[in-house]
Amino acid sequence: MHTNRIALLSLVVAAGTARAGGSYYRLSTDAKYVAPFTVDTGASSGIVIEDSYGYFFPMTFSAKAGWVPTTSRIPGTHAYNGLGLSVAVDYDIHALYVFETEDGGIYSNYSLDNGVTWRTSWCHISSDYQFDSAPAAVYVGSNAFRVYARASDALIEIKTNGCGEIASQVIGATLAPPIALSWGPGRVDIFGTYGATLEWIETSDATNYQTHTSFQMSDGTMKSFTVANAPGSLAATTPGSDRLEVVFCDGHHVWRLGYVDGWFIQPLLTASSAMVSAANEFDDPYETPAAAAVFTEAGQPVMAFDLNDDGTLAAHQLQVPGTTFSVFAEGLMSTPIENMVYGISGTNLYVFSGLD
């Protein structure tokens, strides 16, 4: 959960149009962290909520039934001093895995039936390091996962089958909590910061990593980018094979850094600071519309961005009347039905829908 407040000065959308959002729902009055998921070949999407007591509650969304709890809560003991969670899907068997960080390390639980039933106790994935960030988990194929977390400034990779550590190692350093994406088997793209510089770590075989602190742009030039040292200044997602979308704040502006046959940069907002977030779980096989949310200071609307079918950028203004969004958790997910933005105001979890 992020606690910084955002000052939004003006909107500068380089492509697409600003659009008003649809309706909103209050899903929970006790939410600390939240993470999205999509399972069953994109037929079902949902979220997992961690409450203030450290218990975990999955909910799914469908056009017919709306939001429905899949179970009372995930069984097992509660998290002690939890730092956040991540959800990854084994697309080969459509199994749902939840990973979370707490005092004792990183733990996981899983469901083989879209979140209806779960393992009766949590698996202890790793306690080899003193982790201090939420986990970032991705499925890389063949019943294999990679989980990334920060320990001090070290970036840790954990190889796991979803319920036990196979191996762990330091693969780099990051000041910001890591963000991990996968758009195909064995492919992982990790974003963090090396000092104040945007960092990209990539692998095509889930084993050998390459680290970049500068990006080769479509015009052939090499550029580096500054990311503000504040919670929520960096987010990333993937709209499909060999596609990446990064949204970050440098302390003065919010930028879109995209990859389509080369990197390109585009201004989104002029802001004194910003909190951005994006979905990192995708429809089978590893696809979702690219989306990001920028959360504003109390009384100001939430700005959400997503890609239209033709690749242009659309912006949405979202606001709950009379609600102060001074605290937000992770922010925007895409479902097979419609785009949805979710955020935490105090301990209330809201979901905005009907963005299209």
Rounding to the nearest 10 degrees, give the CA dihedral for residues 20, 23, 26, 31: -40
Q: Which residue has the tokens 């052939």?
A: 220
Q: Between 86 and 12, name the one with better pLDDT.
A: 86
CB-CB contact of 71 with 121 (8 Å): no
Is 332's pLDDT higher than 70?
A: no
The structure tokens listed for 157 are: 């990779």
- Find the length of the chain: 356
Tell which residue, 146, 216, 156, 154, has the closest CA to residue 188.
Answer: 146
The arithmetic mean of pLDDT across residues 269-274, rounded, is 58
**Residue 52: other Cβ atoms inside 10 A:** 11
Per-residue confidence band for 351, with pLDDT thresholds at 50, 70 and 90: confident
Confidence (pLDDT) at 254 = 79
Per-residue confidence band for 323, with pLDDT thresholds at 50, 70 and 90: low
Confidence (pLDDT) at 39 = 66
Q: Between 169 and 275, name the one with better pLDDT.
A: 169
The arithmetic mean of pLDDT across residues 207-226, rounded, is 97
Is 91's pLDDT higher than 80?
A: yes
% of residues, the chain, pLDDT over 90: 42
CB-CB contact of 226 with 198 (8 Å): yes
Confidence (pLDDT) at 25 = 76
Per-residue confidence band for 4, with pLDDT thresholds at 50, 70 and 90: very low
Q: Which residue has the tokens 């097992």?
A: 76
**Sign of the Cα pseudo-torsion (130, 277, 310, 15, in order):** negative
The arithmetic mean of pLDDT across residues 146-153, rounded, is 96
Least confident among 90-99, 155-164, 234-243, 326-335: 326-335
Is 336's pLDDT higher than 50?
A: no
Per-residue confidence band for 249, with pLDDT thresholds at 50, 70 and 90: confident
The amino acid present at 309, given as its one-letter code, is D
Q: What's the chain's Rg over C-alpha atoms? A: 18
Strand, coil or helix: 351? strand
Per-residue confidence band for 24, with pLDDT thresholds at 50, 70 and 90: confident
Per-residue confidence band for 329, with pLDDT thresholds at 50, 70 and 90: very low
Average pLDDT over the chain reads: 78
pLDDT digits (tens, 9 = 90+) for 291-305: 555 554 444 556 666
Confidence (pLDDT) at 337 = 42
Return the exposure string of 149-178: e unless at least 16 CB atoms fall within 10 Å of the residue's CB, then b: bbeeebbbbbbbbbbebeebeebbbbbbbb
Is 210's pLDDT higher than 50?
A: yes
pTM of the predicted model as reported, rounded to 2 decimal places? 0.85
% of residues, the chain, pLDDT over 70: 70
The arithmetic mean of pLDDT across residues 14-33, rounded, is 65
**Residue 67: other Cβ atoms inside 10 A:** 15
Confidence (pLDDT) at 50 = 93
Least confident among 52-61, 144-153, 201-210, 315-324: 315-324
Is 78's pLDDT higher than 70?
A: yes
Confidence (pLDDT) at 239 = 73
3-state SS string over 167-202?
Answer: EEEEEEECCCCCEEECCCCCCEEEEEEECCEEEEEE
Is 93's pLDDT higher than 70?
A: yes
Q: Which residue has the tokens 């929970």?
A: 28
Which residue segments constitute the domains of the chain, with CATH numbers given? 8-353 (2.120.10.70)
CB-CB contact of 223 with 265 (8 Å): yes
Distances from the Cα of 152 to the Cαs of 107, 129, 176, in angstroms? 19, 9, 10
Per-residue confidence band for 35, with pLDDT thresholds at 50, 70 and 90: confident
CB-CB contact of 179 with 236 (8 Å): yes
3-state SS string over 197-237?
Answer: EEEEEEECCCCCCEEECCEEECCCCEECCECCCCCCCEEEE
Is 326's pLDDT higher than 90?
A: no
